[in-house]
Amino acid sequence: VIEHVLGVFRENCAHSLRILKTFRNKKNAGISPSPEDYATDCFLRYKQELFYTAPFYKLIQLCGKEAEIFHDQTQHLFAFVESATNLFQYDMCVALKEFVEGNRITVDAKTLSDDYLKAVKDYSDKSQKYYDLLNELQKIAFALETEPIRYRNLKKFRDRQEIKQTLENVKNIFKNSDS
With H, G, I as helix, E, B as strand and everything else as coil, classify residue 163. helix
Number of domains in the chain: 1
* Domain span at 116: 2-175
- How many other C-beta atoms can be found within 10 angstroms of the C-beta atom of residue 58? 11
DSSP state, residue 42: T
Residue 178's pLDDT is: 60
Report the distance separating Cα 113 and Cα 36, nearest Å. 17
Taking only the tens place, the pLDDT of each residue in 81-136 is 999 999 999 999 999 999 999 888 999 999 999 999 999 999 999 999 999 999 99
H/E stretch holding 90: none
Report the distance separating Cα 161 and Cα 29, nearest Å. 59
Does the global pTM surpass 0.85? yes
Residue 103's pLDDT is: 82
Taking only the tens place, the pLDDT of each residue in 2-25 is 999 999 999 999 999 999 999 999
Taking only the tens place, the pLDDT of each residue in 136-145 is 999 999 998 9
Q: How many CA atoms lie within 13 A of 34 on its CB side?
A: 1
Q: How many CA atoms lie within 13 A of 113 on its CB side?
A: 19
